Amino acid sequence: MKRFALAGNPNSGKTTLFNNLTGSTAHVGNWPGVTVDKREGTYKKLAEPIAIVDLPGIYSLSPYTPEEVISRNYILDEKPDCVINIVDATNLERNLYLTTQIMEIDVPMVIALNMIDEVEKAGDKIDAAALEEKIGVPVVKISALKGKGIDELMRRAYECSRSPRLGKTVLEGGKLMHLIGDCRIALEGAGVDNALFHAIKLAELDELEVKQHPQSAKMVEEFKKTFKDDTFGSDFEAIVADSRYKYISHNYSSALTKNKRSAREKLSSSDKADKILTHKIWGIPIFLVILFAVFHLTFSENFLWIGAALPEGWVSGEGTAFEGVFGDGGINSIGVILFNLLDLATSSISDAIAGAMSAGGVADWATGLVVDGIFGGLFAVLSFLPQILLLFLFFSILEDSGYMARVAFILDRIFRRFGLSGRAFMPMIMGFGCSVPAMVNTRTLADESERIATIRVIPFFSCGAKLPILTAIAGGIVQMTGLGNADIITYSMYVLGIVVAIAAVLIMRSTTMRGEVPPFIMELPAYRAPQFRSLMMLLWDKLKHFVKKAFTIILASTIVIWFISHFSFNWKFLPDSEMNDSILAGIGMLVRPLFTPLGFGSQLNDWGWVFVVAAVTGLIAKENVIATFGTLAACITSGFVADEALEGVDAVAEMISATGIGIPALIAFIAFNMLTIPCFAAVATAKAEMPDKKRFNYTLVFWVVTSYLVASMIYLIGEWWWTSFIWVAVWAAAITLIVLYNKGKLKNLKLPKINFKKRA
């Protein structure tokens, strides 16, 4: 099968084109660096099927980051039948820089002038035919988004793929051509493929190239000594780059006719927005407010208080089947309303099933297995689906609009103090969705130590699967104690994760993971209205992924949990009330002393082992934590709720009432689950992204230690805050005294001098 590769600058629309060509639903983002690994699909509308390979976005073929190496090596070594060079036509000159480099490789190529819709909307014109004549490869205008010009592009690419093309360079006639020519002859003599391309990279003294062809590199060094040009000294890389840009602006730029007025207007409206959103002082507070609004819309009960002005019972819908769904007093946020609606549906399903089974005289254990074991666990997790999806939707809107790239920009200044570049912000934000793609995305970071430090803290950015833990426990706390507000607890836990991540990075970057922070070069993408279709596709993907996980891993785990919690070590079936004699309880009791410093160990009563077991099952998938509660809490008859399948919050409330666990221990429980070793999938990804085994092992230790320390600190301070307060005060006083004493400020205090006498 023929293979066509898509190559282009980050954010030029490669993923959109790829999806369009292959019917795939890969994630499109208005953010440079969304595709960090190559992806394959098939285009079927030509005489024969064509494999389409989407390469990571790159600005040039002199790679610094791992993703850039992937793209360069693919084009050079795998020799695709055609390279489709996708060019963002709204940014022609900069995008053609890469084009001039691909041209130098002996590979058929076509140029796709993408985003032509935007160019036309702005009233600009591009003469594709003129450009085609000058560059010497086919140029096709397309709009990947609107699906325009795609068939024409593929037709021409197919045509090209049938005859080989020899590389040519725009450096012809330049100062270095003599050197490049010599290198080329030497390389050709040595039988090297793509001699022209390699000769140019050698002339630039490209690191990879020098390693591969040390012999020819010596020649360049010799030549360099004879080269005394004032403009650049002997920085050949700069000379080459300069020649490319000059060539582009002299020869290619005339193909573009700008509509002067519209260009100025467009610039100013986006500039105006940037003036506010990336403001030195206001940028960050604005970001925090937006973030809080997102959480408020997703998690808050009594989102709006106007309900109070309405006649009593209007909002709460007293007496109807929807009582309390839309609010009680105030109006609930969208997230809570959706949550309540789903809750209504799932509880009527499980009630109906439980009713039918007991009416049909089904054995108790079978009813228990179905209602608690299967539905209890599943519903406990599924009930959070609306809020997870909503949070995703909001984040995607922020990302697609181009705002997240601005946030990276404003955070760069702060990140730098922690030893990170603004680029690290993207993987971190992605971590709120799922650690797996987030860890892969760290490939956009050039410094290896920065990359590893970032991978280590990504799980602290609480992912979608951990959301049920946060929400259910926060909800449980509010329900049981009437204290606080669920969305503030949830929000603070997210903030805790971020703070721990920052502290951890700071410590790592100043001790074991030192390294230079490379300068932050990321162009700000244009503000764009998020595409409805692309957002819906993303949500659909998430939904599928979540439901699939619920009906496989989580279902299997809850059934296993139910079985081992209802059988004793000598395989006797145990009714709910004797669950404390079960295999699971036995194991839980055995390990629970380990969790005593965290507040959910030996100090809890008989049922306390459920917390320990839940935390351990979370290592398989984080949703399991709440699924385990759902399965087990229904069996505990503390009298808080009737014996039925429980949704997440009720399950936690039940556990709180059965064990009498306190708020500090509950918060410690969330913190432990949030910061400890992430799920299997994330651990496997971290391992794959860290070729050095020792570093990976340290990473596991790091997760365990951090979660244990932070959780126990929360518990200890929360439970004995008065004692802790005194301790801290005493220590602070002691340290202050020592510091002052050392500075000699207390000299006149006449402290006794301590003499050490030698023993005779």
* Binding-site ranges for ligand GDP (CB under 6 A): 8, 10-16, 28-30, 34-35, 57, 114-115, 117-118, 143-145, 400, 528, 531
Give, in order, the Cα–Cα distances in Å from 277 to each of 388, 520, 683.
Answer: 26, 19, 36
Which is nearer to ligand GDP, 117 or 644 (by Cβ)? 117
Minimum CB separation of residue 35 from ligand GDP in Å reads 5
Q: Smallest gap, in angstroms, from Cβ of residue 60 to ligand GDP?
A: 15
Q: How far is CA 307 from the centre of its chain?
A: 37
Report the alpha-carbon distance of residue 294 to residue 287 in Å, rounded. Answer: 11
CA-to-CA separations, 423 to 61, 374, 481, 514, in angstroms, rounded:
20, 43, 42, 17
Please tell me whether residue 37 adopts helix, strand or coil conformation: coil
- Rounded to whole angstroms, the Cα distance separating 330 from 307 reads 4
C-alpha torsion angle, residues 514, 520, 526, 532 (rounded to 10): -10
Nearer to ligand GDP, 114 or 712 (CB): 114
Backbone dihedral angles phi then psi of residue 583, each to the nearest 5 degrees: -60, -45
How do strand 109-114 and strand 139-141 relate by DSSP bridges? parallel
Supply the minimum distance, in Å, between the C-beta of residue 281 and ligand GDP.
Answer: 29
Closest approach of ligand GDP to the CB of residue 13, in Å: 3
Q: Of 143 and 582, which CB lies nearer to ligand GDP in the complex structure? A: 143
Supply the minimum distance, in Å, between the C-beta of residue 92 and ligand GDP: 14
Distance CA(736)–CA(305), nearest Å, equals 49
User: Between 531 and 596, whose beta carbon lies closer to ligand GDP?
Assistant: 531
Nearest distance, CB of residue 402 and ligand GDP, angstroms: 8
Please write down the long-range contacts of 412-416, taking CB distance under 8 Å and 24 or more positions apart.
412/520, 414/284, 416/517
Instruction: Look at the block and give the residue holding tokens 């390389």.
Output: 187
Nearer to ligand GDP, 21 or 486 (CB): 21
Q: For ligand GDP, which is the closer residue by CB, 359 or 529?
A: 529
The answer to whether residues 172 and 200 touch, using CB atoms and an 8 Å cutoff, is no
Q: What is the token pair recorded at 687?
A: 């391992």
Q: Are 429 and 290 in contact (CB under 8 A)?
A: no
Q: How far apart are CA 79 and CA 697, in angstroms?
A: 38
How many Cα atoms occupy the beta-carbon half-sphere of 609 within 13 Å? Answer: 18
Least distance CB 5 / ligand GDP (angstroms): 13
DSSP-derived letter for residue 515 is -
Residue with tokens 């503390």: 638
Nearer of residues 15 and 300 to ligand GDP, judged by Cβ: 15
Cβ-count burial of 24 within 10 angstroms (0-12 exposed, 13-18 middle, 19+ buried)?
middle
**Can you read off the two tokens belonging to residue 464?**
């979608």
**Residue 100 or 396: which CB sits closer to ligand GDP?**
396
- What is the closest distance, in whole angstroms, from the C-beta atom of residue 86 to ligand GDP in the complex? 7
Contact 61, 38 (CB under 8 A): no
Alpha carbon 104 to its chain's center? 36
CB 121 within 8 A of CB 507: no
Q: Which is nearer to ligand GDP, 12 or 444 (CB)?
A: 12
By beta-carbon proximity to ligand GDP, the closer residue of 60 and 638 is 60
Burial of 757 (0-12, 13-18, 19+ CB in 10 A): exposed
Nearer to ligand GDP, 9 or 603 (CB): 9
Least Cβ distance, residue 525 to ligand GDP (angstroms): 7
Cβ 390 to ligand GDP, closest distance in Å? 21
Please spell the DSSP secondary structure of 673-734, one letter per residue: HHHS---HHHHHHHHHH---HHHHHHHHHHHHHHHHHHHHHHHHHHHTHHHHHHHHHHHHHH
CB 526, min distance to ligand GDP, A: 8
Pick between residue 27 and residue 134 the one whose CB is nearest to ligand GDP. 27
Shortest reach from residue 186's CB to ligand GDP, in Å: 37
Nearer to ligand GDP among residue 28 and residue 477 (C-beta) = 28
How would DSSP label each residue in 738-756? HHHHHTTTTGGG-PPPP--
Interatomic CA distance for residues 493 and 485, integer angstroms: 13
Core vs surface per residue 322-352: b (16+ CB within 10 A) or e? eebbbbbebbbbbbbbbbbebbeebbeebee
How do 2-8 and 39-43 pair as beta strands? unpaired
Report in angstroms how near the CB of residue 635 gets to ligand GDP at its nearest: 48
In this complex, which beta carbon is closest to ligand GDP, that of residue 10 or of residue 630?
10
Least distance in Å: CB of 539 to ligand GDP? 16
CB nearer ligand GDP, residue 145 or residue 436: 145
Amino acid sitting at position 256: L
User: Which residues make beta-bridge pairs with 573?
Assistant: 567
**Is the Cβ of residue 13 or residue 335 nearer to ligand GDP in the bound state?**
13
Instruction: State in angstroms the smallest separation of the CB of 144 from ligand GDP.
Output: 4
Question: How buried is residue 272: exposed, middle or buried, by Cβ count under 10 Å (0-12/13-18/19+)?
Answer: exposed
Give min distance, CB of 29 to ligand GDP, in A.
5
Dihedrals phi, psi of 328, to nearest 5 degrees = -150, 100
Residue 293 CB, nearest distance to ligand GDP (Å)?
22
Q: Which is nearer to ligand GDP, 114 or 243 (CB)?
A: 114
Strands 50-54 and 2-8: parallel
